[in-house]
Amino acid sequence: MDITIEIPTRLKEDSFRSFSIPGFHYRPLVAMIRAAFADIQAGAFHLLPFQCIWKDPLDDHQERVFDELYSSDSWLEAQDNLHRQPQEPGCSFERVIAGLMFFSDATHLAMFGTAKAWPLYLYFGNLMKYARSAPKSGACHIVGFFPSVGDLPPVGMAALHAHCRRELFHACWKHLLDAEFMHAYRHGIVLQCPDGVYRRVFPRIFTYSADYPEKALIATIKDMGSCPSYCLESVVMAGSFIFSGGNTVNGSKVQVTLGKGSWVPTVVSVFGFDIFRTTNYLISNQNTFAEKLGPLGFDVFRMLIVDFMHECELGTWKALFTHLVRLLYALPGGDRLVAALDNRFVLHCFPDFM
């Protein structure tokens, strides 16, 4: 499928031009949900949330255990909100949730060359995490592959490239969150579960895991920006400068209007949308999650979770920890200090080995 985005031209008479990018391959989300619930693995799905409580056998005190998505407060809240909705006319089926967990990561396919891919994966939170993480479980579903805007443009055009990449990403998600998915999100879809019982299944997006650059795309914020204090009117005005006033994406007027925060000229909030409905900019340049799901109570920021691999094992925390260990080595008796740190780690994480 070809994806069309609008690129600003810096011309007041011809403020933007449409550019078609080929190569978006995807599977409809509703079709994937139907296939997952018809699969034999659906027999292990947890359809109703619950609280997991651990009771101490010595003093009988109880503690809440947070271990699965279907035992989290988010799922319990979503199920409660679902039960508050009026039943579909003439339908008495039990209403359950299909917990969607997305993951995407643009990657190079070879050590040499320019071959790369940007896959989007889907997991179902109804399945236990130990089953999902098993290498041969088949619990990971490939939704599709995002296209690329190409290599970096000449020097001075990096801001435009980032803008086009952001618009391309959300244009792809407009196709994923199509009319069929939005109807299922509001009204559910009747599916026969593995136990033979028909239920009305409502898809809900709970998590989206990605590295920091992709999180910036999803949340439509500036990469390595500062405090994300948001003003809808300023964002709309910045967009009008680009698409109506002939200013560049990172022009002085745009930067002054957006301020020193993390925001970019893409609308995230849906509040006050009708006030600016007449601007051509708002009709196309919006955060897709906020535009499609925001009116239904969805918060794009709450779905962004910690990416343990990129942010901890490969990311900032690993670099910080390495730096702290080097500081210990630099102190007098550094070898002894690092050995003491290792002993504390073993005592805390593996007490049975001591």
Residue 316, pLDDT score? 72
CB atoms within 10 A of CB 24: 18
151 — pLDDT class (breaks 50, 70, 90):
low
Q: Residues 247-271: what's their mean pLDDT?
A: 61
pLDDT at residue 54 is higher than 70: yes
pLDDT at residue 110 is higher than 60: yes
Strand order in the sheet with 94-104: 25-26, 141-145, 119-124, 94-104, 198-209, 189-192
221 — pLDDT class (breaks 50, 70, 90):
confident
pLDDT digits (tens, 9 = 90+) for 312-341: 777 677 788 888 899 999 999 999 999 999
Least confident of 77-81, 126-130, 236-240: 236-240
Mean pLDDT, the chain, whole residue set: 81
C-alpha distance from residue 242 to each of 14, 216, 219, 320 (Å): 11, 20, 20, 39
CA distance 163 to 238: 13
3-state secondary structure of 91: coil
Residue 273, pLDDT score? 40
Task: Give the single-character DSSP code of 265.
Answer: S
Q: What's the pTM value of the predicted model, to 2 decimals?
A: 0.78
C-alpha distance from residue 144 to each of 14, 29, 175, 248 (Å): 34, 10, 11, 32
Query: Cα-atom radius of gyration of the chain, to the nearest Å?
Result: 24
